[in-house]
Amino acid sequence: MKKIFLSLCLLGVISNASSQEFANAPKPFGPVPTQKQIDWQEMEFYAFVHFSLNTFTNKEWGYGDESPELFNPSQLDVRQWARVVKEAGMKGIILVAKHHDGFCLWPSAYTERSVKNSPWENGKGDLVKELAEACKEYDLKLGLYLSPWDRNHPQYGKPEYITYFRNQLKELLTNYGDVFEMWFDGANGGDGYYGGANETRKINSLTYYNWDETYKLIYDIAPKTLVWGVWLI
């Protein structure tokens, strides 16, 4: 009985000391993570899929002059992707919805350079939609990569392109359910097709995209979405 009593007393002392230590813990200093940043950390790891026009041209970066008709996978099964990702213990998939060549894996209303002008599924396909449905089926989170640089678009480098870029962001954030992460990168400006101009266009990535307004657009539409990868170079 004495041993039980002493054990309970010791447990009480430890519990009280822990509570006191927590009460005296220093307050946070500087930036602290938001809840969605904490949720992102708890995802641990996830897949990143780049399957697009580049798959059929064997290029890392398309120049922007490749024909959409080259995109014609014969045995595409995104449910297989989702199943394998789930079995590997991952918690989500980020899909490259548009890379630097400007080809869109969804039938964007703002360009003809998309799956709607490819032979795949007779132009009726929507790879982003198919993957969104597969992720939902396998309880995975969906993330999307949208290249800020577009080596095909004739207005890239001009103010009009920013409207185009944001319109495509709106499509991706409103038509496919929750998007846990929008992924950008720092490849911004250089040589490209640009609607037939075949020239080099340089931009200031600090100012051209007006990231403050672009971020506001994203968070207004999808407040739970995390943005990653804007390299201000």
**How many residues would you count in the chain?**
233
Q: Which of 113, 226, 112 is nearest to 180 (CA)?
A: 226
Q: Which of 181, 143, 185, 169 is nearest to 221 (CA)?
A: 169
Task: Output the pLDDT for position 28.
Answer: 84
Please, what is the angle between helix 211-221 and helix 159-174, to 10°? Answer: 20
> What radius of gyration do the chain's Cα atoms show?
24
Please report where in the chains the tokens 């007779």 appear, as a residue: 122
Please, what is the angle between helix 127-137 and helix 78-87, to 10°? Answer: 40
Q: Can you tell me whether residue 20 is helix, strand or coil?
A: helix
List the chain pLDDT tens, one digit each, 233 residues: 444 434 434 344 444 544 555 567 788 888 898 888 898 899 999 999 999 999 999 999 999 999 999 999 999 999 999 999 999 999 999 999 999 999 999 999 999 999 999 999 999 999 999 999 999 999 999 999 999 999 999 999 999 999 999 999 999 999 999 999 999 988 889 999 999 999 999 999 889 999 999 999 999 999 999 998 765 43
Residue 113 CB coordination number (10 Å): 22
